[in-house]
Chains A and B, each alone.
Chain A
Amino acid sequence: MNPEHDHDDGHHRPRPDSELALRASALEALLVEKGLVSTDAIDAIIELYEHDVGPRNGAKVVARAWTDPAFRERLLDDATKAIAELGFGGAEADTLVAVPNTPTVHNVVVCTLCSCYPWPVLGLPPSWYKSPPYRARMVAEPRAVLREFGLELPSEVEVRVWDSSAEVRYLVVPMRPAATEGWSEDALAAIVSRDSMIGTAVPVAAGPAE
C-alpha cells in the first residue's frame, strides 16, 4: 500500500495486515488457477455464513414445543439441554432460559447493558435490538415500544421484560396461534418469526398449509 496515502485515514498504526491480505489474495488466485475454488463460490459462502445462524433454529425449537408437550416441559425446565436435543448449542447457549407466553403473560427480551442475545437459536441480533432507544425504553415503557412494533396487548395481559446478560439469555416461546391444528412442525416453524421469539411480535397463522 502507498505510504503517502496513510495520512488520509491514518489513525491506525502501519498495517501489518496488508501483508496478510496480499498473501490471502495470492492464495485465492492460486486456488482459482488450480480449479479448486471459484471466486463466486467464496462469495456465496461468505454470504451464506452471514445468514446461516438464523432464527430458523429458534423457530424449530418453538414448533417442536408446540407439537410435543414433553419437549415443551423439558424446554421450560432446562432450555440449554432441550435445544441440544435438536443439535443447537454452543458456548453462548450455556444458560438459555425459555419463557413461555400465556393468555395472561407476554414476555419480551432486551439487553439493557449491551446486546447479549441467544444467537445459537436466533442468529445475529437485528440492529434495533442493539439500539440505545430500544434498550432504554423497553424497560421504562414496554407497552409503548410494543405498540410501535405493531403489537397492541390487552391491558389485562401482564408484560414481563427480561434483561439479558452474558450469563443468562432468553428465548420467548410464543403462543401457538389458533387455527393451526394439524399443521406439520415445518409449517408451524415457518410462521415463527424472529421478532416473536424476542417478544416484539406474535406469530400469525397465515399462508402455509392451504
Chain B
Amino acid sequence: MSAQAGGGAPGAAGAPGGAARLAEVDAALAGRAALPRDNGELVFEEPWQGRALGMGVALLARTGTSWAEFRRHLVAAIRRRPHDPGESAATAYYAAWLDALEALLAER
C-alpha cells in the first residue's frame, strides 16, 4: 500500500515520460531482484550498468509493461545465469537485467 503516488505533484513533475520513481522500482524488485546498493547508494561499476537500468525504466514506461512482469523475467534471468566467482554482484545483476530486457523484447 502507501506509495501514495509520491505524495502528489512532485512525482509527476520530476519523472520523465511517466517513468517510475526509484522507490516504486525498489518496492517492485525487492528481495531476489533488488537493485545492488552499498549503504543506500545504487552501485554502478561501469556506465553500461546505469544505462541498462535507464533502458528498463524507459522501456517499461513506454510499453506499459508492469514491474511485476519485468521482475518475473529478471528473476528467471538471475536463476539461469551461471555463477561466476570472478564477477562482481553488480556486473552479474545488470547482465541479468540485459537478459531480461531482451526476453521482454522477444515477447513483443
Contact = CB atoms under 8 A, between A and B. Distances in A.
| A and B physically associate | yes
B50 A46 contact: yes
Contacts of A46: 50-51, 53-54
A16 B87 contact: yes
B41 A49 contact: no
A133 interface: no
Interface string A124-138: 110000000000000
Interface residues of B, number: 44
Contacts of B41: 119, 124
Contact of A49 (B40, B52, B53): B53
B3 to A, nearest CB: 5
Interface residues of A, number: 43
A156 to B, nearest CB: 36
A37 B40 contact: no
A86 B4 contact: yes
Interface of B: 1-4, 7, 10, 14-17, 19, 21-23, 26, 39-42, 45-55, 57-59, 62-63, 86-87, 91, 94-95, 98, 101-102, 105
